Structure 1
Amino acid sequence: MSPILPKSDAADLVVAARIRRGLTWSQIADRIGAPPVWCTAALLGQHPMSRDQAEGVCALLELDESVAESLQLQPYRGSDAAAMSDPTVYRLLEAMSVYGPALKELIHEEFGDGIMSAINFKVDIARRPHPDGDRVVITLDGKFLDYRW
């Protein structure tokens, strides 16, 4: 019996197959009926996929059962230090370090004592045309969870 393919290795194979087949992340997500941001995160190892989703992706990308098996595993969530230093990811971290305290205050002011869930959560990305250059619009949509004592 061979070991199960690590999720990071499966992600590398998915990325390579996606590029070589000229597919976008959105096309893959559409094919399995999943939101693009969630699907991309799952294929990069951050969420488990259902058997049908994993097998559908692997059929589309011509990847074998070992990848489908790995895509169904429960992940260890989070990114490594190298990913966090990528300029795009780092700018998102920078935005949260600058605006996070203000967002926290505004959440408390609007909703009371609690947090925004990152489990009962959706995220979306869109492009908005702008005269000074297109804008990236990221929507974080999390359930408010009040602290209960």
Structure 2
Amino acid sequence: MKTTPTQTPSSCKSDSQLTKEQMTDRIITAKVKKQLTWTAIAEQIGVNEVWLASACLGMNSMKHDIAEKLCAILDLPIEVQTALEMFPYKQWSFEIPQDPLIYRLYEIVGVYGETLKEIVHEKFGDGIMSAIDFSMTVDKEENPAGDRVVITMNGKFLPYKSW
């Protein structure tokens, strides 16, 4: 298991240290209980709603002041704040998800992934889009034929280097 300076191996965890999964459960429970949305919480804290949800789901860490604000809004204990500040070990299942929304995103990458790669290479050269220097927004576009989901991903281009 990889660890970071603020992350302790699971074999060394005290009873009061939460895993990212336990942290997420407590955050979601408090969010539902208070009937708050990610958007409403993000506006109170002053951060992007997508990034906030990602951090609360354990895929990003929070700086101390942001974690402190979130825990104050949701009336969560210091153990949740500590877990929010820990660097994540980013991992996910390689199985195709069954949730319809997440499955459709996999389907989009499956159908259009190589197309996107071709277009990015034509416009930028040989490289990748950063998922570190990255932002994403999710918007709703009202449409008489049915509302539209607008997902905008904005990542820095990182060229491959020769050495």
TM-score bracket relative to the smaller structure: over 0.9
CA distance in 2, matches of 1:61, 1:83: 33
| Structure 2 partner of 1:27 | 40
* 1:128, distance to aligned residue in structure 2 (A): 0.6
1:56 is aligned, of 69, 72, 92, to 69
* 1:79, distance to aligned residue in structure 2 (A): 2.9
CA distance in 2, matches of 1:83, 1:6: 24
- Partner amino acid, structure 2, of 1:138: I
1:111 is aligned, of 100, 115, 124, to 124
- Partner amino acid, structure 1, of 2:24: A
1:6 is aligned, of 19, 41, 45, to 19
| Structure 1 partner of 2:137 | 124
Name whichever structure is richer in helix by fraction. Answer: 1
1:139 is aligned, of 140, 145, 152, to 152
| Structure 2 partner of 1:85 | 98
- Partner amino acid, structure 2, of 1:12: D
Instruction: Classify 1:43/1:23 alpha carbon distance in 2 versus 1 (closer, same or farther; 3 Å).
Output: same
Deviation track 1:90-126 (CA, whole Å, cap 9, x = no partner) reads 1101101100100000001111111111111111110
Q: TM-score, normalised by structure 2?
A: 0.86
Instruction: Classify 1:78/1:88 alpha carbon distance in 2 versus 1 (closer, same or farther; 3 Å).
Output: farther
> Between Structure 1 and Structure 2, how many residues are aligned?
149
* 1:83, distance to aligned residue in structure 2 (A): 8.8
Q: TM-score, normalised by structure 1?
A: 0.94
Task: List runs of 5+ in structure 1 lacking aligned partners.
Answer: none
Task: List runs of 5+ in structure 2 lacking aligned partners.
Answer: 1-13
User: For 1:144, what is the secondary structure of its paired residue?
Assistant: strand
Instruction: Classify 1:63/1:121 alpha carbon distance in 2 versus 1 (closer, same or farther; 3 Å).
Output: same
User: For 1:142, what is the secondary structure of its paired residue?
Assistant: strand
